[in-house]
Structure 1
Amino acid sequence: MGEAVKSTVDAVQKQLSGEAGEKGTRGTADDAQIAGIVAAWPEKPAEVAGKLMQKYGPPNEAAETRLIWHANGPWKRTIVYRDEVPHNFPKPHTDLLEQFIDYRVPLGRFDDLAAY
């Protein structure tokens, strides 16, 4: 029991100090590598990647199919994908960008969120 309390106290202290959560990668991907990757992408994902780089700088990670920023602006993580995924909700469109935040859901509202 004492160890559990200590762990909880440590977690709360990290949260209050701003040390909690995912940390951004200290470095960024190589500019030449990024340019080569994005040059091979379709127009729309390449355009979104360019706008994100203008706003947040070079991504922390780069792969043939995605660029990833950590702790950029208000976002915990941002991912832009080369391949668009079609969706029909709320209307037909394609997805190529994911952005993440930390959000605490009150226990009394979790069922509502899960039902959504």
Structure 2
Amino acid sequence: MPQKQAVRQIESWPEESREAGQLVINQYGEPDEVTDSQLTWHKPGPWKRIVASKAFYEHNFPAPHNDSFESVIDCKVPPDKFTQLAEFDGSVIAERTAGEVSARCHDEQANFLALNLMHDIVTGKKTLSRHETITPRSSSTSGERNRRPTWKVAICACRRQRRRSRRPPAIG
């Protein structure tokens, strides 16, 4: 039985990005697009798009890891919130013209967490600093560890707003 195209493609990737690519293949199957440097899935699960990249970025927040797994949602961020997002985490990227926000982390759960924290920041629920401790088990800070995880809140909130309008939703 021949290997699938995506698995063959990532064999030559560095281990750091190959592992992330394999996680997405395991979760969502063959991608919609395959190139030498990335795999792309359109509308997998709750996402607008997922991109697994050959390139990876060392990232030390909240703990050392490599970023090569990007999850994208439709979400329009108010311009006055861009600085707060950039100060919090450079792996959360808001694209004003496209009306998209993405998180590039090491796996899907980390992206859920990052996008939920983005949602809390742009709606004013949290004003997180890089000095606060974030745990992968919860979107809470160190003082609120007993809260249940809310990883999917931002995606659901953006989808509800998107259904009301053809334009990407504004948060806030």
For residue 25 of structure 2, what is the amino acid of its counterpart?
M
TM-score (norm 1): 0.59
Runs of at least 5 residues in structure 2 that lack an aligned partner in the other structure: 85-172
What corresponds to 1:70 in structure 2?
Answer: 42
What corresponds to 1:15 in structure 2?
Answer: none
TM superposition shift of 1:49 = 1.4
2:31 equivalent to 1:59: yes
Q: Distance in 1 between matches of 2:42 and 2:20?
A: 17
What corresponds to 2:57 in structure 1?
Answer: 85
Note the alpha carbon deviations across 1:28-58, whole angstroms, 9 max, x for none: xxx6432321111122322221221111111
Q: Does the C-alpha gap of structure 1 residues 40 and 92 become closer, same or farther in structure 2, counting only changes over 3 Å? A: same
> Percent identity between the aligned chains?
35
Runs of at least 5 residues in structure 1 that lack an aligned partner in the other structure: 1-30
| Residue in structure 2 matching 1:114, options 78, 82, 103 | 82
Range moving further from structure 2, 65-74 or 87-96: 87-96
SS at the partner of 1:101? strand
SS at the partner of 1:49? helix
TM-score (norm 2): 0.42
Alignment size in residue pairs: 82
Greater share of residues in strand: 1
Note the alpha carbon deviations across 1:49-82, whole angstroms, 9 max, x for none: 1221111111000111110001000010000111
Q: Distance in 2 between matches of 1:40 and 1:92?
A: 24
Decide which structure has the larger Cα Rg and report it.
Answer: 1
